[in-house]
Amino acid sequence: MTTHQPPAPQAAQPTWQAAAGASYPGYTSPIPVVRTHLGHALASEWTKIRSVRSTMWTLGVFVLLVVGIGLAAGALVAANASEGDLNGENPLSFGFFGLLLGSMCIITLGVLTTASEYGTGMIRTTMVACPSRGRVLAAKAVVFFAVAFVVTLVSSSFVAFAQVGMLSDARDPSGGEWFKATVGVSLYIALLGLLSLVVGSIIRHSAGAITIMIGLLLAPLVIALFMFSESLQDLREALFEYSIPSQLSVFYATSLTDSGPSGWDPLWIILGVTAAAFAGAFALLQKRDV
């Protein structure tokens, strides 16, 4: 048991007395009472995310894929391109492949941030400690988004600098292109991870939610590939244009299609989808039993 003695000076706990009132006597703790707020939940979620190995694994593999594939692509193109091949090419666009594969790691981490708590039973401990369910989801979202954004920004920027250095024949990217290929894609990938986190909160099952998100990432493109029928031409186009890989490539101005989303459209699309899913997850969280 604690070694705390029952409190002698009543004046030492004014906060408590005000909160408890006289009608509910009982033990009074010497630990100062704190009114909790989002900041406390953020600190808690930060401890959680940094203290499990799955975070290190998923982010480690993510950095490895983004940097490894990015540098390999740059080196391959630099070695094989003959004089003039790269004229007018944007050297940043070769960062796309690593980021596309790496996004699966971010999806996994996003799902695990919420769904693993349901798998382990941790969620009950979490919700008892913080009965404001919306605050828990918000804190998870903020912490995860910040981590995913920073890690993606650092690795995509590193790859971008390396590729521009390697591909000296290509043209110099404009400031706007730089911004989209670093901050833009990082926002997009972090939002994709946030959507996964929200889906994890709705599905409450890690494997199920990861499958759904990987399906969302790859299925439209794969399905479109096999739509040979003439009558499905429009649908095929739409699936191509709005598939996540295609939208991601828009940030490098090398869209897989000529029509469809362009500029910053992909970011607004995923922002809308994530916001809608977040609202749904929030409502479900309030309604369902933990």
Partner 1 sequence: MIELEGLTKRYGEKLAVNNLTFAVRPGIVTGFLGPNGAGKSTTMRMILGLDRPTAGDVRIDGKHYDRLKDPLTYIGALLEAKAWHPGRSAYNHLLCLAQSNGIPASRVREVLETVGLSGVARKKTKGFSMGMGQRLGIAAALLGDPRIVMFDEPVNGLDPEGIHWIRTLMKSLAAQGRTVFVSSHLMSEMALTADHLVVIGQGRLLADTSMADFIAQNSRSYIRIRTPQRERLLDVLHGAGITVVETGGGMLEVDGGKPERIGELAAQHQIVLHELSPQQASLEEAFMRLTAESVEYHAHADAPARQWGDDWQKGS
Where do contacts with partner 1 occur on this chain (CB under 8 A)? 1-2, 4, 6, 19-21, 23-31, 33-36, 40-41, 43-45, 47-48, 51-54, 116-117, 120-122, 124-132, 287, 289-290
Overall residue count recorded for the chain in this entry: 290
Q: Which among 267, 290, 121, 255 is positioned nearest to 195, based on CA atoms?
A: 267
Q: Minimum distance between the CB of residue 204 and partner 1, rounded to whole angstroms?
A: 14
Q: What gap in Å lies between CA 7 and CA 29, rounded to an integer? A: 7
CB of 17 to partner 1, least distance (A): 13
Closer CB to partner 1, residue 52 or residue 72?
A: 52
Q: How far is the CB of 285 from partner 1 (least distance, A)?
A: 12
Q: How far is the CB of 132 from partner 1 (least distance, A)?
A: 7
- Contact criterion met (CB below 8 Å) for 241 and 257: yes
Shortest spacing between CB 122 and partner 1, in angstroms: 5
Nearer to partner 1, 11 or 128 (CB): 128
Phi-psi region of 5 (alpha: psi -120 to 50; beta: other; left: phi over 0): beta
Choice between 51 and 229, CB closer to partner 1: 51
